[in-house]
Amino acid sequence: MNALHSLATLVKPVENNPVLNISIFLAFVAITLVIVIRSGRNNKSAADYYTGGRSFTGPQNGFAIAGDYLSAASFLGIVGAIAISGYDGFMYSIGFLVAWLVALLLVAELMRNTGKFTMADVLSFRLKQGPVRVAAATTTLAVCFFYLLAQMAGAGGLVSLLLGINDKLGQSIVVTVVGALMIVYVLVGGMKGTTWVQIVKAFLLILGALAMSIWVLALNGFNLSALLDSAVAVSTSVPADAILAPGLKYGSNPLDFISLALALVLGTAGLPHVLMRFYTVPTAKEARRSVVWAIWLIGAFYIFTLVLGFGAASLVGADTVLAAPGGVNSAAPLLALALGGPLLLGFISAIAFATILAVVAGITITAATSFAHDIYGSVIKKGKGNPDDEVKVARRTVIVIGVLAIAGGIGVQGQNIAFLVALAFAVAASANLPTILYSLFWRGFTTRGAVWSMYGGLASAILLIVFSPVFSGTETSMFGADVNFAFFPLSNPGIISIPLGFLLGWLGSVTSTVKESPKLAAEMSVRSLTGHGAEKAVEH
């Protein structure tokens, strides 16, 4: 144990084998590219490109959802957060998992039955098409952008650790390469190719995390208490066992903790790239099955993060993690190095890279679909455009988003990934979830309510982030400690912006003078519950 610990501190991360790391990564890229090219051949219609022809089964889609969801934030971010802050980091795992119940019980099947390609399909079903679609596409793009930034920050951090590239230019080049690869995946493979990449990656990631967890537990005699004990033994926090209880990170600001918890649990069901996954299956029953598979896979993975986080704390040590290039986010790769040497590090890092690549591809196709289908197809062309043109627009949008992601990714190097993703969750929970729930469950919801809720939720979430310690006032802020315009004390805006989103949706609806069509409301209600019109005719 102690020998392992000193080994990890002796072997400097930069001394690992970059050639090995790159070859493992290239092997993954080669395999997935073949998959993408093969599955991209059958992309003919818009439905093929956006939803993979709705041909995936529940278990396949469940793996793909897990692949989409278990991003670099989950793997690198949470393991790092637990290694550094102990119990408070575990909070992310719990919130990220429990959130799936909102999706399972309230959203997945009804969305599948009512919509076709995007979140806006459902939201605009019985409301005024133009304003609602534009608002929904705007919030979709905003959430996707935040999420992309987080993944790109992860890519840069990982690279600096793996390849020993510490200078800004080197990291920027790698971020560019990741972005370019992602563009190729999405352009060639469409939704079907992207989904297969997710499935392969989810499988590898969960398997890798399982293997490392078993290894860590084996070193501690398969005794969780012993593992915690060894983490406490090398802990530098005061008192040492503070890492086992809540409060190490958020103790001074419990409201911030609650705000984060709120955003985590309500964000998932508003994430556009998760919602879009409900359309890649043929029926509501398959949508349900896929969510169930996803919950089991994601839940298992988050239990592993607990073992891996405390494993990294005991075998690598919080100080070593913080001092490594890549900082907090390097806990998982450093744990791999401590356990299995450069080979395991290479393998785990390739998985982490693949994770970033796959998630970025999934978000990009969601954003591009939303722009092409909601803004170009439904608003600019008023639904009369050619679906082939729509796909063309989607492909061009992919390139634009890819370039934006690369530029943004270069800008956010060094930020904490799990934390950046939590901001995306806050925006999703404030801007998307209120409108989704209202339009599914509240007959009195109106166009004005939807527009107020989406823009109000989005604007308040973003403004609060800008005026929070994330942007200015502390050492870890984007602008550093010297600039200070942080008058909002919490680093997550959820506790204000989510209730505000709900409130505005209600207020806009009750003050609305325009009556929404009761006919469409009845149709939506019947369709959402029975699946009529969304599923292929029952064979007689």
Partner 1 sequence: MSEAVKDAPPKSTIDYEAFEKTPRFRELKRTRNSFVVPLAIFFLVWYFAYVLAAAYLPEFMATPVVGRINLGLLLGLGQFVTTFAITMSYVTFANRKIDPRTEELRLELERMEQR
Instruction: Report yes or no: 358 and 197 within 8 Å, Cβ to Cβ.
Output: yes
Q: Which residue in 20, 184, 241, 395 binds partner 1 (CB under 8 A)?
A: 241
Q: How far is the CB of 217 from partner 1 (least distance, A)?
A: 14
**For residues 191 and 199, what is the distance between their CA atoms, to the nearest angstrom?**
12
Residues ≥6 apart with Cβ < 8 Å to 189: 35, 36, 37, 39, 40, 43, 196, 197
Q: Is residue 54 a contact point for partner 1 (CB under 8 A)?
A: yes
Instruction: Report yes or no: 336 and 348 within 8 Å, Cβ to Cβ.
Output: yes
Instruction: Tell me, by CB under 8 A, how many residues bind partner 1.
Output: 70
**For residues 307 and 215, what is the distance between their CA atoms, to the nearest angstrom?**
10
Q: Which residue in 27, 236, 251, 319 binds partner 1 (CB under 8 A)?
A: 251
Q: Is residue 292 a contact point for partner 1 (CB under 8 A)?
A: yes
Q: Which residue in 37, 303, 322, 459 binds partner 1 (CB under 8 A)?
A: 303
Q: Which residue in 244, 379, 403, 463 binds partner 1 (CB under 8 A)?
A: 244
Amino acid letter, 448: R
Q: How far is the CB of 244 from partner 1 (least distance, A)?
A: 6
Return the range that interacts with partner 1 (CB under 8 A); candidates 28-36, 51-59, 348-356, 420-428: 51-59
Q: Which residue in 295, 375, 417, 428 binds partner 1 (CB under 8 A)?
A: 295
- Which residue lies nearer to partner 1 by CB, 34 or 526? 526
Q: Is residue 94 a contact point for partner 1 (CB under 8 A)?
A: yes
Terminal CA-CA length for the chain: 66
Q: Which residue in 38, 229, 396, 499 binds partner 1 (CB under 8 A)?
A: 229
Fill in the DSSP letter of residue 479: T
Q: How far is the CB of 333 from partner 1 (least distance, A)?
A: 25
CA 493 to chain CA centroid, Å, is 18
Give the ranges where 412-493 is alpha helix by DSSP (H): 417-431, 433-441, 447-466
3-state helix, strand, coil in the chain (%, to 5): 80, 0, 20
Q: How far is the CB of 448 from partner 1 (least distance, A)?
A: 23
Handedness of CA 468, 473, 475, 480 (dihedral sign): positive
Q: Which residue in 322, 411, 512, 535 binds partner 1 (CB under 8 A)?
A: 535
Give the ranges where 412-432 is alpha helix by DSSP (H): 417-431
| Cα angle value 372/498/365 (rounded, 5°) | 20
Return the range that interacts with partner 1 (CB under 8 A); candidates 6-14, 172-180, 280-288, 349-357: 280-288
478 token code pair = 């984007």
Instruction: Report yes or no: 164 and 18 within 8 Å, Cβ to Cβ.
Output: yes
Q: Which residue in 45, 166, 236, 386 binds partner 1 (CB under 8 A)?
A: 45
Return the range that interacts with partner 1 (CB under 8 A); candidates 61-69, 221-229, 321-329, 489-497: 221-229
3-state secondary structure of 134: helix
**For residues 25 and 346, what is the distance between their CA atoms, to the nearest angstrom?**
8
Q: Which residue in 299, 341, 342, 414 binds partner 1 (CB under 8 A)?
A: 299
320 token code pair = 């070593």
Q: Is residue 38 a contact point for partner 1 (CB under 8 A)?
A: no
Q: Is residue 499 a contact point for partner 1 (CB under 8 A)?
A: no
- Which residue lies nearer to partner 1 by CB, 46 or 141? 46
Residue 518: other Cβ atoms inside 10 A: 10
* Binding map of partner 1 across residues 99-118, x = CB under 8 A, - = no contact: -xxx-xxx--x------x--
**For residues 352 and 404, what is the distance between their CA atoms, to the nearest angstrom?**
22
Residue ranges binding partner 1 (CB under 8 A): 42, 45-48, 53-55, 87, 90-91, 94-95, 97-98, 100-102, 104-106, 109, 116, 223-226, 228-229, 232, 241, 244-247, 250-251, 254-255, 257-258, 261, 265, 284-285, 288, 292, 295-296, 299, 302-303, 383, 387, 518-519, 522-523, 525-526, 529-538
